[in-house]
């Protein structure tokens, strides 16, 4: 029998919800490209519940315990004395979400001789040292596509919020004011702007589709070029390099996975090539951007605004410069953990665990590392190496 160690974010401050704003969520059976949504044998939760926090347990407890497995759920994940650190050595399966990642560094993997499966409840497995996972023969899997549209919607919302100066305008209302000139002095129309995405995979291409009706110029760069018919349908211009893209765009959105080739891509040099007063939106991974370079660009006016919900590390220490820099629209990592998305990624985790314990193949599109090498979605999206360096700084969040 296996020990499953599950790291989830804390419950709401006022306690686990006794009721929800809506009675139901739409049922989605297939994604845009035809891939089916998760298909576990059954689920033990009601879609629309808060599943990603500690009390939600991803709806897994009865399933695992009925099979004789042990489930340990915690939010205490950082530092040598954390519950995660103490429970890891004899765990066979570790489940973590990108929003509150349990960083599986090489050091931690070495201390966990029983570990066989690292499972991401969501998409993006960069919190696992993929190089170490390959060397130790681990399987790394995630629920590919489960929250891609959730993130794409969030990107469009943040673009509009920045360009239209929504957050400061809303703050005037909260403060009891009616300061129209203050609100309008940084507010523009998106119409006619040039908008580009760095990476046009499931999320990036969904952003492009959603922005097309806004009558903007669309651009993208990616190591995998879209089919010509898709480019024509979207009216999108391909750029061989990020440098070529940022030079012409008023708005740039980052939708690439984090791996050694994308780490700190948006540094002082690349940000310096952007249009003066451009906007940058990052819902991919915080470490794709140099955090100090972004802060300086917002302070100087090089960037008219920066928004996103991804930081490094996560949770971000309280003195992280993105909390206090001007003209930002940062939130905690929430884009991919809407209640709608949680229903899909909880079901996907259940599907993967059913396959794992029944010794059936896991869907190829869910695989990141398998058999000592990048596999499935991992072979398409990642490069060998490690991007977890510096994650120990997350312990400073709890320290205050």
φ, ψ at 41 (rounded to 5°): -65, -35
Residue 113 DSSP SS3: coil
Taking the C-alpha atoms of residue 167 and residue 161, their distance in angstroms, rounded to an integer, is 7
Quote the strand ranges of the chain, DSSP E. Answer: 3-7, 70-74, 93-96, 117-120, 139-142, 194-198, 217-221, 236-238, 251-254, 278-282, 303-308, 328-330, 367-370, 373-374
Query: In the Cβ-directed half-sphere of 331, how many Cα atoms lie within 13 Å?
Result: 18
Q: Taken in order 41, 25, 330, 100, is the CA torsion positive or negative?
A: negative
DSSP string for residues in 268-287: HHHHHTSPTTEEEEE-S-GG
* Beta pairing partners, 266: 289
- Token pair of 335 as six digits: 């884009």
Residue 232 DSSP SS3: helix
CB 322, CB 294: distance < 8 Å: yes
Looking up tokens 């950082």 gives 78
**Per-position b or e across 319-347, b if 16+ CB within 10 A of its CB:** ebebeebebbbbeebebbbbbbbbbbbbb
- Token pair of 185 as six digits: 């002095």
Residues labelled as active-site residues: 147, 285, 314, 333
């Amino acid at each position: 029998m296996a020990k499953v160690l599950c790291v989830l974010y804390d419950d709401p401050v006022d306690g686990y919800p006794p009721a929800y704003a809506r009675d139901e969520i739409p049922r989605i059976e297939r994604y845009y490209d035809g891939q089916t949504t998760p298909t576990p044998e059954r689920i033990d939760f009601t879609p629309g519940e808060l599943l990603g926090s500690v009390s939600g347990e991803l709806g897994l407890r009865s399933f695992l315990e009925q099979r004789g497995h042990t489930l340990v759920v915690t939010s205490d994940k950082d530092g040598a004395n954390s519950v995660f650190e103490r429970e890891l050595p004899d765990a066979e399966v570790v489940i973590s979400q990108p929003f509150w990642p349990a960083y599986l560094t090489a050091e931690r993997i070495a201390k966990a001789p029983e570990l066989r499966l690292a499972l991401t409840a969501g998409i993006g497995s960069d919190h696992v040292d993929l190089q170490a996972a390959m060397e130790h023969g681990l399987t790394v899997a995630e629920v590919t596509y489960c929250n891609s549209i959730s993130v794409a919607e969030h990107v469009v919302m943040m673009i509009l919020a920045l360009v239209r100066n929504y957050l400061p305008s809303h703050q005037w209302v909260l403060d009891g004011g009616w300061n129209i000139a203050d609100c309008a002095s940084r507010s523009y129309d998106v119409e006619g702007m040039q908008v580009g995405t760095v990476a046009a995979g499931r999320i990036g291409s969904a952003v492009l589709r959603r922005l097309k009706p806004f009558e903007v110029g669309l651009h993208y760069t990616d190591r995998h070029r879209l089919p010509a018919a898709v480019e024509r349908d979207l009216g999108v211009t391909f750029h061989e390099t990020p440098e070529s893209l940022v030079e012409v765009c008023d708005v740039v959105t980052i939708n690439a996975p984090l791996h050694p080739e994308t780490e700190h891509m948006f540094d002082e040099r690349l940000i310096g090539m952007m249009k003066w007063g451009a906007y940058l939106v990052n819902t991919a991974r915080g470490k794709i951007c140099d955090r100090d370079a972004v802060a300086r660009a917002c302070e100087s006016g090089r960037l008219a605004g920066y928004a996103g919900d991804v930081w490094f590390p996560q949770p971000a220490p309280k003195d992280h410069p993105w909390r206090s820099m001007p003209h930002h629209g940062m939130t905690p990592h929430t884009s991919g953990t809407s209640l709608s998305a949680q229903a899909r990624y909880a079901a996907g985790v259940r599907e993967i665990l059913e396959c794992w314990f029944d010794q059936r193949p896991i869907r190829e599109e869910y695989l990141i590392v398998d058999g000592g090498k990048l596999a499935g979605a991992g072979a398409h999206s990642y490069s060998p190496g490690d991007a977890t360096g510096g994650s120990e700084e997350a312990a400073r969040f709890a320290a205050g």
